[in-house]
Structure 1
Amino acid sequence: MSRPVLLPRALEPSPGQARDWLREELARPAYHHQASLVQRLADWLQEQWHRLLDQSQAAAGWSPLVTAVVAAAVVALLAFVLPRVRRERRLPGRGAAVLTDPRTTAAMYRARVAAALAEGRFDDALADAYRALTREAADRTLLEDTPGSTAHEVALALAPRFPDEVDALRRAADLFDAVRYGERHLGRADAEEVVGLDARLTRTRPVLTSADPAVATP
């Protein structure tokens, strides 16, 4: 006959104490500033916790063991997941829109570009140059979903319109993301590259596509 597993008295909390431990752990600020994945995980664990507590209270012989094991499992699981969520939040988020202020015109962006170049703020100059070409394309009705378009969505949408600039558009989107999300700091040459792209697109007549009214099928 197997002997019962005995835990040290310090590791045998009552159901109420164990519930308080879990509530205090999940109330720490670190858990409430993470992605929704952690919140959903915490909610699920709390649901399972209460379910197990109800079961353990019906079986007094193993209640301390269940409460101690579940409490340790909750803390261990959160300790495993939380650092990974933090790393994911530090990765560049590619889903943010290029344009965040509908009131800013292409001319206003270009004025900001000139000021940033003069002051040596090349990251700002590059980002605003890409915003300028995006706003210009929107004003020319070359973009359908301007408010929510990301840098690479803008490049992808403009590529058929400006086939000679496909590589330049792709590189400009990469540079925009690099400075927008803090991967690295760029120099004058990179900023002027995107400024030049903006100027070329402004001067170039876009290629018609099947979506344009002039070439649409009746």
Structure 2
Amino acid sequence: MLNHFGRIISNELSLKSSQSAPIILNNQNHKILINSKSKEKNNSSIKKVSSLLNIKSAVELDNRTNAQKSQQDLDAMHQIVDQTDNDLRHALEHASLRREQLDELHFRSEEMLSKNENLVFGITNYRKTQERDLLWRRLRYVAFGTITIGIIILLVILSMISRRSASSSQVIDVRHINDESSNKNNKDITSTMKLIVSRRRRREKAILTELNEFLSSKSEYFLLSDNNL
């Protein structure tokens, strides 16, 4: 635009200079008239040139202000873009940090769930083991009680049988003793019967001692097994 105005001004000046060139005439009056007209034309051309220069300076000033304004707008846009870029970077960093925190929280929650499952499994196994041990203890106590009761019943039966055999032998001895014809034989029979009774008593004592030893060994076994549990 400035070049266009410069061309217009140069063309106008060249045109005015060509038009204002003096024309030489022989008549003096005509010469004065032509000079006055050329002066008026020069003044008008100068005014036009000054107006064009004013327009040119105004246009240049307007262009400068527009350029400055556009540069300011461009700088503001660059600042906005830079600020937006920084905000996006901070947002991405914050999002990545939140993602890492969520992953860590998810991992910890899974770890806690696995620990809880293992704890529940261990508690259930412990309870089952305790219940099984308690059941075995009860069964052992019941078995020990039944064995003890059976042994006591067996001892009672053996004692009753021994008493019956002793009473029957005493009756036989009395019959033989009351017989007057066999006094010598009665002495022999009584001695043999005493030996038989003493042997039976020894056997009963031996059986009782063996049963007591058996019961004591069994009781010690059950006590040791309970202590191990």
Report the TM-score when normalising by structure 1: 0.27
Whichever of the two has the greater Rg, that structure is 2
More helix by share: 2
Report the TM-score when normalising by structure 2: 0.26
Q: Which has the higher contact order (CA 8 A, sep 6+)?
A: 1
